Structure 1
């Protein structure tokens, strides 16, 4: 029940905003695709939270403190969902999901500059928090690999493509990146997923976490749309998480 309630808390503002976008003609709204987006998000979250039980990594590496199995399960779920949808519909393809190594001409240097800005702001926030270094080998390895592989393949990859079919819009050009209604909704949900939940049966909201993860999510979205690929967002995401461990 708590998981279902948390899911509702995450999606309620997204639904409201999607309807508002449609009313003011910022975007369209396709209910079937919108329900599909909600379904793949539910599968993704279930894989992170429960799917690790199907992956016996703890039997081979005892004493793991991080959710390796859950992340591996969610990555596998994302790739399987992508494969199924790519066969079933033309709306989901390697190009629409950014599953390509090809970068748009002239996009790499601006994208790297944004990643440096994001990583620098992450280090600055860590210094402000002054919560000490976290340099355990397992943490460093995890932060250097799992966050980007998991969250970029899903949020700025498959999920962005599906939500783009659900709320189609022309978007606006922001310094060479086309920011669409779908991109804004993905960023909102990314922030809410890190800052809204239920604890001890009571809902909580952390505006700081929503703002911080929303900032990083939007920056990584910009890189994704500027380059046309999830490659640099993936690497940048891991760099942000990894570098923050040292401050």
Structure 2
């Protein structure tokens, strides 16, 4: 649920001391109502500057924000690795360089702009199409865009999270399982000549490269951890409420 600046001000307790009230108002003004999307540089740089809006984040909100930042950063690293191992894919875009092709996919994910080759499809629908025999476009860009779009959809359409947000642990867990399935499909499917759709991991007498599996594994691990944290948070809310009823605890007054 998104609250406007006016709504947040209206919810301020009437009994707040004047100074505390003005402090909160100043923080609200600085946050501009709490943007729901991180800056592009946070994703590619894998770090974020301290912002006043963090005042409105719980520990789990901050964890979700950092996990999203790191997951998209991992996806962008995989995008670059896959393009370099499969240069024919980025050349299908008609763009002048690999950097331009990467930027197109990144902006598509962050601005919620489906790639033209996906016919307007997003998240799970885009992932299914990108991994189908019918798809003939840039499979690397389509695959990474689809995974990124799915991640953001599973997190309620946001990349930055605050007190007023409610994340669904089951959707995040489902996203982790989808990535496991998708990466297996990507590495196992082959064309009519028996060649893999995309070159990624390599285990041979001459080389051993598992960096793709490692990076995808990091994304899955972060999603699983966040899912567990969210489950525990909501479970503890219920347990604490039940304990209060069971022991008839009075609320502290000082």
Work out whether the TM-score is over 0.5.
no
- Report the TM-score when normalising by structure 1: 0.28
Structure with the higher fraction of residues in strand conformation: 1
- Report the TM-score when normalising by structure 2: 0.28
User: Relative contact order (C-alpha < 8 Å, sep 6+): which is higher?
Assistant: 1
